[in-house]
Amino acid sequence: MGAGRPRHPRHQHSRLPHLRKAGPTVRTSVLLLLVLVTGCAQSSGDGADDATGDGDAAGGISRVENDLVVLVDRGNGSEPVTWTLTCAGTAEGTHPDADAACAHLAGLDDPFAPIPDDVACTEQYGGPQSAHVAGLWGNEPVDLEVTRVDGCRISQWDSLVPLLPSGA
């Protein structure tokens, strides 16, 4: 009887409820936090960078070019955690290892590149963790959902450690 019924896309993984997309409340909260963090970053400082848009002397990066909000759900039933990270000469924010995260991201060519649609991924499950990274990096918008549900996504997650917690 019920075998022929089409399933709603959000219910495809009935045994893996953590794979469901974040609801509008979580997404709205992250975006609101991003707006607040970006607004605070633009209004802080001595005004030298804000008026000219020039970067700081240390790295040529202005404050608002590298502002991120990271939401991590460990998939174990605990509350998701949200961190902020600003990388502009010095690392700032609530991220537990901001210096290492900024240094790592600065060394990557395109840290938030999406996984290409035409790539074949192994059917390997890496755990229930999920993360959402939003904001600006290199003055480009970032809106990336990261999981560990297959080999490609595990590699993507691992490439972002220490911005994201180690999946092990």
3-class state of residue 11 by DSSP: helix
Question: Domains, the chain, ranges and CATH?
Answer: 16-111+129-146 (3.30.350)
Burial of 88 (0-12, 13-18, 19+ CB in 10 A): buried
What pTM, to 2 d.p., does this model score?
Answer: 0.66
- Total Cβ atoms within 10 A of residue 163: 26
Q: Give me the pLDDT at residue 63, please.
A: 52
First to last CA, the chain: 41
Tokens at 44, concatenated: 């802080």
pLDDT at position 42: 46
- pLDDT tens-digit map of 55-64: 443 444 455 6
Q: Are 154 and 128 in contact (CB under 8 A)?
A: no
Residue 79 has a pLDDT of: 97
Burial of residue 160, with CB atoms counted within 10 A of its CB: 0-12 exposed, 13-18 middle, 19 or more buried: buried
Q: Rounded to whole angstroms, what are the CA distances from 48 to 13, 85, 86, 116?
A: 51, 21, 17, 40
Q: Return mean pLDDT, the chain.
A: 77
In contact, 127 and 110? CB cutoff 8 Å: no
For the chain, what is the radius of gyration of the CA atoms? Answer: 18
Question: Residue 3 — very low, low, confident or very high, per pLDDT cuts 50/70/90?
Answer: low
pLDDT tens, residue by residue, 108-121: 999 999 999 999 99
Tell whether the model's pLDDT for residue 89 goes beyond 80: yes
Confidence of residue 4 (pLDDT cuts 50, 70, 90): low
> By mean pLDDT, which of 25-34, 99-108, 158-167 is the weakest?
25-34
